[in-house]
Structure 1
Amino acid sequence: MNNTVISKNEGAVAWVRLNRPERLNAMNRQLVDGLSRALADAEADEGIRAVIIHGEGRAFCSGDDLKDLDAQTACEADTQAWVEAIQNITLQIMQSRKIVIAAVHGWCVGGALEWAINCDFRLFSESARWFFPEVTYGLFVTGGVTALLTKQVGPQVTKELLMLGERHDARKALDVGIAWKVVPDDRLLEEARGLALRIAERPADAVADAKRAINAGLHSTLQDAMARETAATVRGFLSPQAQARAKEF
């Protein structure tokens, strides 16, 4: 039984909780597959209008679980399958007819940060800390962020965030436009619930059409960006130098 992602429905809202607190909800294959199923279930449920993704314990998600690196990159085919599974979450979030909300607390790193950027609204708690470690390791980002971030925050800030890999707080996320709103830690889930319920009050088709039109208009090169990212990420994962750096983390 896969308990790394736990879903529950509360009226028109689907709560999707990443549940590997002992690893700061780091991404392994079970968690990625569990999140994919949870998103698919929410998409198929006509009664669900909004999805809230959040994390159990001290973090939203600390990114790729580097303890599983050997299993994820045993050969090129396995690496390709792993990266495509991560990228598929992006497609599920951005192509969904539901509004997807990221409720971020604690660490939000790498692939998890990229998933958060894919969400329609991003609420950060005051404790949130985030960064892109991939380029520092000799790896590469996913989630279409080379296209999404460049258009949202501009090429200069995108280069700063991806190339320098510095750690940032919630205020920086708000300042550059990654966070929609920063709230006290003890208000994070309640704020996310309130937003989801406001969205649920609006006509479902109109909300879905608005999301689709905005994403298509703003991110028309998403597929091309993700194809480039997949190839670069696979090359990075298979690099002995990158694997050695990641294992030292």
Structure 2
Amino acid sequence: MNFIELEIVDKVATIALNRPEVFNSFNREMALNLQKVLDDCASNPGVRAMVLTGKGKAFCAGQDLKEVTDPDLNPGFKKILEEHYNPIILKIRNIKKPVLGAINGVAAGAGANIALACDIVVAHEKVSFIQAFSLIGLVPDSAGTFFLPRLIGFQKASALAMLGDKVSAIEAEKIGMIYKCVPAESFEDTVTQLSVKLANMPTKALGMIKGLLNASMGNSLEDQLAMESKYQIEAAQSEDYAEGVAAFIEKRNPNFKGG
């Protein structure tokens, strides 16, 4: 079975986690397949935006606990983190193209934190996010302790990580955990509209914005200003900048090529 489904349409790569019978929980094969698909999309010039979603009722329930409790299958937490989840998070953040998290169902544990690592996250109103780790005696991984306090503040992140409360998509939008909660019936249309918009924007500039936001997590003000200057000078030399200015002057819609 192909645990990751990939479809590329109109410069948008839709990447779907595909173990619906176990709520798209990760085993080793699925984690390694996702890494390969992310790499392929990163290097494919025909892809200018990515959508990460799940098949079936869930986005991702995190780690498949049957794998870690089976003595014949258990790769051990060191391997799971260093070879599965950590590379996935780093690839999502380092890909120089926008990654839209389209959260179609429950996102729990590592699944919740993979969702939060995406550049823009939309979820339908019936979705919930759960930092489920403490409920089984574990700690958040997959950069949960990195992104969550930066998104929603230290106190709220501490409570969610320790208590393992469910957060509805409606509440997640209110507290800044995600970009937008949308009605279930318009979810697919919203995802399509956003992904197509991203795919037709100046891809190089979007990649630079992503790099700047990544760096801002640890940079001083002076370092961030210097990096902005460097990137702005480079962006101003791009074909998309020339097209954007020409379109503005000519009062027409720009036709960005991503270069």
TM-score by length of 2: 0.79
Please say if 1:42 is aligned against 2:41.
Answer: yes
Please say if 1:120 is aligned against 2:109.
Answer: no
| Paired position in structure 1 for 2:159 | 160
2:68/2:76 contact within 8 Å kept: no
| Paired position in structure 2 for 1:19 | 18
Please say if 1:139 is aligned against 2:161.
Answer: no
Among candidates 73, 77, 80, match of residue 78 of structure 2? 80
| Paired position in structure 1 for 2:147 | 148
Shift of 1:73: 9.6
In structure 2, do the counterparts of structure 1 residues 98 and 73 end up closer, same or farther at CA, with 3 Å as the change threshold? Answer: farther
**How far apart, CA to CA, are the structure 2 residues paired with 1:57 and 1:26?**
12
Note the 1:1-249 alignment, pairs <5 A: 2-71=1-70, 78-84=76-82, 85-218=84-217
Structure with higher RCO (Cα < 8 A, 6+ apart): 1
List alignment gaps of at least 5 residues for structure 1: 221-249
**How far apart, CA to CA, are the structure 1 residues paired with 2:91 and 2:144?**
15
Question: What is the total number of aligned residue pairs between the two structures?
Answer: 219
**How far apart, CA to CA, are the structure 2 residues paired with 1:209 and 1:90?**
18
TM-score by length of 1: 0.83
Shift of 1:3: 0.5
**How far apart, CA to CA, are the structure 2 residues paired with 1:73 and 1:125?**
38
2:58/2:106 contact within 8 Å kept: yes
- When you count helix as a share of all residues, which structure comes out higher? 1
Shift of 1:189: 2.3
User: What CA RMSD, in Å, does the superposition of the two structures yield over aligned residues?
Assistant: 1.9
List alignment gaps of at least 5 residues for structure 2: 220-259
Question: Residues 93-152 of structure 1, C-alpha deviation per residue, up to 9 Å, x if partnerless?
Answer: 001101001111221100011001100000010110121111222211122221222222
Question: Residues 136-170 of structure 1, C-alpha deviation per residue, up to 9 Å, x if partnerless?
Answer: 22211122221222222111011011001011211
**How far apart, CA to CA, are the structure 2 residues paired with 1:39 and 1:166?**
30
1:73/1:79 contact within 8 Å kept: no
